[in-house]
Structure 1
Amino acid sequence: MKLLQALFFPPEQPGGVSSMIPYMQERFTSPRWEMELFSLPKRIRNKGQEDVRFDTFDVTPYLDSPIVQKYMQTYRDYIWWTRLRMKKPGDLIHAHHPIAGLAMKHIFPEIPLIQTVHSSYEKELLLNGKIEENGLEHRFLTSLYRELESKVDSLLTVSQSFRSYLAPYVNEPQSISIIPNGFDERRFKPIPHENEVPQLITVCRLVPAKGLDVLLKACAELKQKGYDYVLHIIGDGPSRLELESLAKELGIYQETIFYGYTLHPEEFIPFFDIFVLPSRAEAFGSVFAEAALSGLALVGTTVGGIPEQIEDGVNGLLVPPDHEHELAEALEKVIADPSFRYELARSACDRAKANYSLSRSVNELKRLYLKFSV
């Protein structure tokens, strides 16, 4: 069976699709399976000119928005690139972004299409202050879910929470299947170590949706209480300068290290002690599973798919989003008590291996793919 994994841009960022899809290929290398990855190069801009329409809604009222216009142009570019580079995609397409799925079905309507919705672009735009709730852009982006539902042969997502999020925007939410992201355990190697000063780490795109402003305020509170720590921030994004200024304003710039984008953070994450990410939204939160497999204690928020991974007090700690005081208290618990920290980390690693292994996800996908075999 020849499979095509249709991505958006090349899988370069930590987390999400990049955590799973590139590592699946070798699991499908056999006489029975063949897998190819396809994506839109980032250099492709404003090439597509094809007129595209949607079956379930009229896009015309939304075209006054520059954000919608840009989205539509990227859709046309993906169609242009696909027609240029691909004659036949194989027996089955598995798309991992709405643009990829809609473009593939537009060009190859006869090929079965499975679509995984990994995250909500509109939710991030809302939290980052780029669009307004129920505004043109929000209504356009949420309309795409029903369009996908009408086109695909199977609709998937990555968590119970995100299926609930999608429910108001589709006709049959009960038909959405859930296959969480899987992680190749061989990439993550916990390393026994003793850090005299607790090392905190977060890995994410630097945008308001990730709540790093809350993390910095919580860390300032820890410093005021006399706790020693170092906070390592891996990732880049539009909020970086603002976050650096906030760290200086709070008096914790010396304790905070901004690394920028790093391609393979899993290679050195095991040397840290505590993974913390106070997200305001998270469809699944792949970085929590990666940190757990690396042997770190976890501190997260009660949003999205994070509580599906973390049982508070058992394999990590949970706090409400936008509550720096509660976050500081949770960090204080794991900083002040190394034994508690170790137990949380051990439990987190065990649970991640049991529930989020790449082997488990691959086996679930193979069963799904075989339903479409001739």
Structure 2
Amino acid sequence: MTEKKKILIRIGSLRHGGAEKVLVTFLKNLPEDKYEIDLLLNLYSGKYLSEVPKWINVIYINKGEMITTNRLQDIPEKAARVIFQKVLKEFPDLLYTLILKDKKYDIEFAAIHGMRDEILHSTNHSSKKIVWIHNDLSQVKEYTDEEIRKFFGFDSIMVISKKIEKIFHDLARNETEKQKIVKIYNPLDTKEILTKAEQPVINYQFDDKIPTFISVGTVFPQKGFDRLLRVHKKLLDEGFLHKILIVGDGYDFENIKNLKTELGVDDTATMLGFTDNPYPYFKNADYYILSSRYEGFPTVLFEAITLRKKIIATEVSGVNEMLNNGELGLIVENSEEGIYLGMKSAFTEPEFFSRFNVKLENYTMPFNLDHSVSRIVTVLDEL
């Protein structure tokens, strides 16, 4: 019997983000008999913890719920966690000795780009290194070309869209570096989405007479929920009655909630917080709206397409690819004005959206779960 490959996977936590969801879906579909996996979390926290297969060994640096506020009573614990993580990052010998017990790995895998330095500075020099890039880093201020080039220190760079693939290809200096770049669409489970969408809606009332625009995602500035709420207010002022439903949580939650109150739209805009099953809300809403400032490959659109939603999306990385260059949904300029014009067209030109419905009814998704998992497995096996 072949000895199992020993793999260390690193991610911050298993909170409710797209990359976390994708990682857990991947782990659930991995063959148990081929690998011995340690999953190292900076924080043992998150809604997806319970979904990690039992055969995977979960290790952590800190434990407890994520602290997203700056309340006085939370500051000591928050500071202690940050300091401990920084010490282990600065002195990786301590991490590998104290927490990982000097275990030797065949592969070390950064499941998000933010784990780049932790994996590249591993004391396990003989291991092969992989990174999974979920974001268009060219849109992130601190990621200069020089910073992005550091990812070529990995043996394999997995990217999730053509746009991200192009960014890395353009920065590659030779054929060897180009061969490190592998485009693999995110593994997502269509059957799970359709099954979960049949469950009842909780804590929200849809109104057949008032259209609802839903947006789902971690509440970060990246997602543009502030832009969405300002457009919502403007359209209401112009007499277009509708509702906004934001599903998700994150460190910007209180800011967006306060903005909602400041704009005076508490009666028409709802922030539901996190739910481990957003699909019944998707199913009952009239439109899916992606208001993001930047993305890597917005897998949430995969979910909206699976549930045959009318889609309005800002032109960020992955959107043209996901929406077949505008065949499956309306792609708008990446600005507040773009979002405004897109949403307004839902009221002034509803027939325009019916052509998307026809396309969606007969559309077969190219993003296949088994295919994505087998591609990632091939990367692991060939290193």
Q: TM-score range by the shorter chain?
A: 0.7 to 0.9
The residue aligned with 2:368 is 357
Work out which of the residue numbers 316, 323, 330 in structure 1 matches 2:336: 323
The residue aligned with 2:26 is 24
Higher mean displacement: 73-82 or 269-278? 73-82
Q: Please report how far the alpha carbon of residue 20 of structure 1 lies from its aligned counterpart in structure 2 after TM superposition.
A: 1.8
Work out which of the residue numbers 104, 107, 118 in structure 2 matches 1:103: 118
- Are the aligned partners of 1:182 and 1:358 in contact in 2 as well (CA < 8 Å)? yes
Residues 203-214 of structure 1 correspond to what in structure 2 (within 5 A)? 203-214=216-227
Residues 226-245 of structure 1 correspond to what in structure 2 (within 5 A)? 226-245=239-258
Q: Please report how far the alpha carbon of residue 257 of structure 1 lies from its aligned counterpart in structure 2 after TM superposition.
A: 0.2
Work out which of the residue numbers 123, 130, 134 in structure 2 matches 1:114: 130
Name the amino acid aligned to 1:361. Answer: S
Q: Please report how far the alpha carbon of residue 5 of structure 1 lies from its aligned counterpart in structure 2 after TM superposition.
A: 5.7
The residue aligned with 1:344 is 356
The residue aligned with 1:61 is none
Is the aligned partner of 1:147 residue 2:163? no
State how far apart, in whole Å, the 2-side matches of 1:19 and 1:39 are: 16
- Are the aligned partners of 1:188 and 1:267 in contact in 2 as well (CA < 8 Å)? no
1:242-301: per-residue Cα shift (whole Å, max 9, x none)? Answer: 433433444432110012233332354222221112211111112222222233222111
Across the aligned residues of Structure 1 and Structure 2, the Cα RMSD in angstroms comes to: 3.5
The residue aligned with 1:254 is 267
Is the aligned partner of 1:295 residue 2:299? no
Is the aligned partner of 1:14 residue 2:40? no
The residue aligned with 2:345 is 333
The residue aligned with 2:53 is none
1:69-103: per-residue Cα shift (whole Å, max 9, x none)? Answer: 99954634776444423554654343323464543
State how far apart, in whole Å, the 2-side matches of 1:74 and 1:278 are: 37
Name the amino acid aligned to 1:38. Answer: L
- Are the aligned partners of 1:210 and 1:278 in contact in 2 as well (CA < 8 Å)? yes
Q: Please report how far the alpha carbon of residue 38 of structure 1 lies from its aligned counterpart in structure 2 after TM superposition.
A: 0.8
Distance 1:38 1:86, change over 3 A: farther
Name the amino acid aligned to 1:222. Answer: L
The residue aligned with 1:34 is 35
Q: Please report how far the alpha carbon of residue 306 of structure 1 lies from its aligned counterpart in structure 2 after TM superposition.
A: 1.9
TM-score by length of 2: 0.73
Name the amino acid aligned to 2:380. Answer: Y
State how far apart, in whole Å, the 1-side matches of 2:186 and 2:158 are: 11
- Are the aligned partners of 2:42 and 2:85 in contact in 1 as well (CA < 8 Å)? no
Name the amino acid aligned to 2:378. Answer: R
Distance 1:153 1:195, change over 3 A: same
Work out which of the residue numbers 171, 174, 180 in structure 1 matches 2:178: 174
Name the amino acid aligned to 2:345. Answer: K
1:127-151: per-residue Cα shift (whole Å, max 9, x none)? Answer: xxxxxxxxxx555xx645333313x
Distance 1:10 1:69, change over 3 A: closer
- Are the aligned partners of 1:274 and 1:297 in contact in 2 as well (CA < 8 Å)? yes
Partner of 2:256, secondary structure, is helix
Higher mean displacement: 99-108 or 220-229? 99-108
Work out which of the residue numbers 274, 286, 292 in structure 1 matches 2:287: 274
- Are the aligned partners of 2:308 and 2:357 in contact in 1 as well (CA < 8 Å)? yes
Partner of 1:299, secondary structure, is strand
Q: Please report how far the alpha carbon of residue 238 of structure 1 lies from its aligned counterpart in structure 2 after TM superposition.
A: 4.2
Partner of 2:17, secondary structure, is coil
Name the amino acid aligned to 2:128. Answer: P
- Are the aligned partners of 2:111 and 2:131 in contact in 1 as well (CA < 8 Å)? yes
State how far apart, in whole Å, the 1-side matches of 2:247 and 2:313 are: 16
- Are the aligned partners of 2:172 and 2:178 in contact in 1 as well (CA < 8 Å)? no
Q: Please report how far the alpha carbon of residue 184 of structure 1 lies from its aligned counterpart in structure 2 after TM superposition.
A: 0.9
The residue aligned with 1:85 is 100
Name the amino acid aligned to 2:377. Answer: K
Distance 1:347 1:88, change over 3 A: farther
Distance 1:122 1:312, change over 3 A: closer
Name the amino acid aligned to 1:174. Answer: K
Distance 1:99 1:330, change over 3 A: closer
- Are the aligned partners of 1:102 and 1:148 in contact in 2 as well (CA < 8 Å)? no
Distance 1:317 1:358, change over 3 A: same
- Are the aligned partners of 1:101 and 1:113 in contact in 2 as well (CA < 8 Å)? no
Work out which of the residue numbers 162, 165, 168 in structure 1 matches 2:167: 165
State how far apart, in whole Å, the 2-side matches of 1:320 and 1:167 are: 26
Unaligned stretches of 5+ residues in structure 2: 45-60, 63-81, 200-205
Unaligned stretches of 5+ residues in structure 1: 46-67, 127-136
State how far apart, in whole Å, the 2-side matches of 1:210 and 1:320 are: 15
Name the amino acid aligned to 2:89. Answer: Y
State how far apart, in whole Å, the 1-side matches of 2:116 and 2:143 are: 20
State how far apart, in whole Å, the 2-side matches of 1:71 and 1:165 are: 30
State how far apart, in whole Å, the 2-side matches of 1:337 and 1:109 are: 59
State how far apart, in whole Å, the 1-side matches of 2:91 and 2:270 are: 38
State how far apart, in whole Å, the 1-side matches of 2:360 and 2:83 are: 43
